[in-house]
């Protein structure tokens, strides 16, 4: 069974609230890669995660595209409306037949027509029942719960199809097997159960919730509330409509006045669990057990979660609908020439074993997982339930079955983060402290106490006695952080890079002072060396220039003397030449 055809998850990231896991009665949701994921083999499609998610990350998969393709291809469309439509659509419920016909449906009937036909089959089955418990099988989530988690109780489940399937079979029997039956109701689980029925006898081709029908009408027939009132092609009797929101109580009273079994009506998760455990242990007296997984029955189905009307208003709508109905019903007779399938009877069904395999870790492995979760002694097993599991050991078993991980334990993650932050705070060489608007220190690390020359590490010390607070006042006044400013702390003889981070939520400044005194001293030493090097270079240059000048001066004198001598030699040479 592909459960995700009924329930799906949004691609947006989970907010780590684990609300859906806490509300999942069978823990079919795990958390991986910042997303919650439904495990199809474990899910009972109750819709609790769909209802409870505060970020609307979960939704039933909409089959509207498939239904519209049926209509566009000209197929004969048959609508089956669960009787609780009167509670969902209120005063506009009478316009639904016209609206559905506008959308492309040729036939519009109440699902309670199928319930009318089923009552006789249930009565006959019950009269022949020789087991202590007779569990009605009208609630799909309850059926899946028993099949998957309490398979030993399958022998007590009434082997009769739900009203949705019965009506689908009747519609196709009447209008032809090629017709397309679409069911509209308050339940998500019914479409999941229909996936199994479709493998045996495709009575219902697709299903939508009332909410999805409402969205379809708003999109393709926005004026539907202005359409005229029209009757349905067929509708159920008083007893069938009453069953839609009161369960089998009235049926039990009417058809089994002398029953050897008591009548037990169960509604909601807690009662379901208690009744199932009681039957498993044999603590419940022989009983006709009518189970509805949703509180208030189908009137509390997932489709109603966004309704503003109270359940009392919904009940009033249903009572009004019942008053308008006839007390008689038209019996359904199966065609005599219809070949029987492998299920006995036209409305018969079976309950296959879908038992969930939940591996139990060896005791040593269980203890190892618990220690990996940071629980080293029983007192550390808080059993707070924030991860979605009732106890730490339950979550350890889920970890063993790959349905949970360590990051889901909020106390463990908080302790881990606090340990890391404490180590950073305690051992950081930076000066870290927080200051409130009164300029009083609210927390301070050891490095600050040591280097800022504070006498005590206790909170409440005023900043004025430590350093200049002008920048801190400016941050409080402007509400803007200051980062990267170099500040010289005169009293301490330190140079720091100052980061003042304004935390608006707490109206506090987180001060982080990076001590760069040693680097500053090295920089000053380096500047002194550079200055001395420049001065030395300049002196060398001056000396070289003087030497050059002296050399040039000497060269000039020797050149002049050489010229005089040469002139004298030339004069003597000329005189001798003339004499000769």
pLDDT band per the 50, 70, 90 thresholds, residue 118:
confident
Q: Cα(60)–Cα(187) distance, rounded to whole angstroms?
A: 10
Kindly indicate whether the domain formed by 428-515 is annotated with CATH number 3.30.450.20. yes
pLDDT average, residue stretch 234-240: 87
Give residue 4's pLDDT.
Answer: 45
pLDDT band per the 50, 70, 90 thresholds, residue 33:
low
pLDDT band per the 50, 70, 90 thresholds, residue 475:
very high
Contact residues for 292 (Cβ-Cβ < 8 A; gap 6+): 138, 139, 142, 247, 265, 266, 267, 268, 298
Q: Taking 80 as the threshold, does the pLDDT of residue 529 lie above it?
A: no
Give residue 82's pLDDT.
Answer: 93
Give residue 454's pLDDT.
Answer: 77
Domain ranges of the chain: 62-323, 363-416, 428-515
Q: Taking 80 as the threshold, does the pLDDT of residue 490 lie above it?
A: yes
**Structure-block tokens of residue 208:** 């939508």
pLDDT band per the 50, 70, 90 thresholds, residue 359:
confident
pLDDT average, residue stretch 185-200: 82
DSSP characters over 482-543: EEEEEEEETTTTEEEEEEEEEETTTTEEEEEEEE-HHHHHHHHHHHHHHHHHHHHHHHHHHH
pLDDT band per the 50, 70, 90 thresholds, residue 249:
low
pLDDT average, residue stretch 171-178: 93
Rounded to a whole number, what is the distance in angstroms from the first to the last CA of the chain?
142
pLDDT average, residue stretch 213-220: 93
Q: Taking 50 as the threshold, does the pLDDT of residue 155 lie above it?
A: yes
Q: Taking 80 as the threshold, does the pLDDT of residue 12 lie above it?
A: no
Contact residues for 284 (Cβ-Cβ < 8 A; gap 6+): 133, 264, 275, 278
**565 vs 267, residue with greater confidence:** 267
Name the burial class of residue 422, with classes exposed (0-12), middle (13-18) and buried (19+) by CB atoms within 10 angstroms of its CB.
exposed
Pick the closest to residue 186 from 275, 271, 89 (CA basis).
89
Q: Tell me the sheet residues that pair with 81.
A: 110, 184
Lowest pLDDT segment from 8-12, 209-213, 302-306: 8-12
Pick the closest to residue 448 from 435, 457, 436 (CA basis).
457
121-150 pLDDT, tens digit each: 888 888 888 899 999 878 899 999 999 999
Q: Cα(462)–Cα(443) distance, rounded to whole angstroms?
A: 12
Phi, psi of 393 (to 5 degrees): -70, -35
Tokens 């009744």, residue?
A: 275
pLDDT average, residue stretch 230-256: 74
Average per-residue pLDDT for the chain = 82
pLDDT average, residue stretch 361-372: 84
pLDDT band per the 50, 70, 90 thresholds, residue 23:
confident
Q: Cα(56)–Cα(61) distance, rounded to whole angstroms?
A: 13
pLDDT band per the 50, 70, 90 thresholds, residue 391:
confident
Give residue 247's pLDDT.
Answer: 63
C-beta neighbour count of 512 within 10 angstroms: 18
Q: Taking 60 as the threshold, does the pLDDT of residue 5 lie above it?
A: no
**% of the chain residues with pLDDT over 70:** 85
pLDDT band per the 50, 70, 90 thresholds, residue 415:
low
Q: Taking 70 as the threshold, does the pLDDT of residue 15 lie above it?
A: no
User: Do you know the residue count of the chain?
Assistant: 580
Q: Taking 60 as the threshold, does the pLDDT of residue 558 lie above it?
A: yes
Lowest pLDDT segment from 1-5, 46-50, 66-70, 116-120: 1-5
pLDDT average, residue stretch 72-82: 95
Q: Taking 70 as the threshold, does the pLDDT of residue 491 lie above it?
A: yes
Give residue 98's pLDDT.
Answer: 96
Give residue 283's pLDDT.
Answer: 93
How many helices (H) and strands (E) in the chain? 20, 16
pLDDT average, residue stretch 358-365: 86
Q: Is the pTM of this model over 0.85?
A: no
**183 vs 520, residue with greater confidence:** 183
Give residue 48's pLDDT.
Answer: 84
Pairing of strands 133-135, 431-435: unpaired
Give residue 252's pLDDT.
Answer: 58
Give residue 343's pLDDT.
Answer: 34
Question: What is the SS3 assignment for 187?
Answer: coil
296-345 pLDDT, tens digit each: 888 888 888 777 788 888 888 888 888 888 766 665 655 544 444 333 47
Give residue 450's pLDDT.
Answer: 82
Give residue 1's pLDDT.
Answer: 40
Question: What is the SS3 assignment for 79?
Answer: strand
């Amino acid at each position: 069974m592909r459960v995700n055809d009924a329930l799906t998850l949004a691609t947006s990231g989970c907010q780590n609230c684990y609300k859906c896991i806490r509300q999942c009665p069978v823990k079919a949701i795990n958390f991986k890669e910042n997303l919650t994921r439904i495990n199809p083999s474990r899910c009972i499609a109750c819709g609790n995660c769909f209802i409870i998610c505060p970020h609307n990350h979960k939704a039933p998969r909409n089959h509207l595209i498939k239904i519209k393709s049926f209509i566009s291809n000209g197929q004969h469309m048959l609508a089956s409306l669960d009787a609780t439509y009167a509670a969902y659509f209120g005063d506009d419920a009478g316009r639904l037949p016209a609206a559905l016909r506008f959308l492309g449906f040729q036939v519009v009937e109440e699902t309670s027509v199928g319930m009318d036909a089923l009552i006789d089959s249930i009565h006959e089955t019950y009269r022949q029942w020789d087991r202590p418990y007779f569990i009605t099988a009208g609630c799909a989530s309850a059926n899946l719960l028993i099949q998957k988690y309490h398979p030993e109780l399958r022998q007590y489940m009434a082997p009769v199809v739900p009203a949705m399937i019965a009506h689908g079979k009747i519609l196709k029997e009447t209008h032809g097997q090629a017709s397309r039956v679409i069911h509209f109701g308050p339940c998500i689980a019914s479409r999941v159960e229909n996936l199994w029925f479709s493998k045996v006898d495709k009575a219902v081709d697709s299903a939508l919730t009332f909410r999805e029908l409402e969205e379809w009408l708003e999109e393709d027939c926005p004026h539907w509330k202005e359409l005229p009132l029209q009757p349905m092609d067929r509708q159920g009797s008083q007893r069938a409509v009453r069953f839609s929101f009161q369960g089998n109580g009235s049926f039990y009273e009417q058809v089994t006045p002398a029953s050897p079994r008591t009548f037990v009506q169960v509604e909601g998760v807690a009662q379901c669990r208690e009744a199932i455990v009681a039957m498993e242990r044999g603590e419940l007296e022989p009983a006709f057990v009518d189970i509805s997984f949703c509180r208030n029955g189908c009137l509390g189905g997932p489709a109603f979660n966004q309704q503003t009307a109270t359940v009392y208003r919904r009940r009033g709508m249903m009572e009004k609908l019942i008053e308008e109905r006839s007390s008689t019903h038209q019996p359904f007779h199966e065609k005599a020439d219809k070949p029987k399938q492998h299920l006995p009877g036209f409305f018969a069904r079976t309950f296959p074993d879908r038992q969930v395999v939940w591996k139990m870790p060896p005791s040593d492995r269980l203890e190892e997982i618990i220690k990996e979760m940071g629980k080293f002694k029983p007192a550390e097993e808080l059993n707070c339930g924030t991860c979605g599991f009732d106890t730490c050991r339950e979550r350890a078993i889920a970890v063993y079955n790959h349905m949970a991980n360590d990051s889901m334990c909020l106390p463990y993650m908080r302790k881990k983060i606090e340990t890391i932050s404490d180590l950073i705070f305690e051992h950081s060489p930076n000066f870290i402290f927080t200051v409130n608007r009164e300029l009083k220190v609210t927390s301070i690390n050891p490095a600050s106490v040591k280097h800022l020359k504070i006498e005590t590490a206790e909170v409440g010390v005023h900043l004025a006695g430590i350093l200049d607070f002008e920048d801190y006042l400016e941050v409080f006044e402007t509400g803007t952080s200051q980062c990267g400013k170099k500040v010289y702390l005169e009293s301490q003889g330190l140079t720091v890079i100052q980061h003042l981070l304004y935390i608006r939520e707490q109206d506090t400044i987180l001060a982080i002072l990076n001590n760069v005194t040693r680097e500053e001293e090295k920089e000053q030493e380096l500047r002194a060396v550079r200055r001395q090097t420049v001065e030395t270079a300049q002196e060398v240059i001056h000396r070289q220039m003087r030497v050059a000048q002296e050399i040039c001066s000497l060269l000039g004198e020797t050149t002049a003397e050489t010229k005089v001598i040469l002139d004298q030699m030339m004069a003597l040479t000329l005189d001798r030449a003339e004499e000769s």
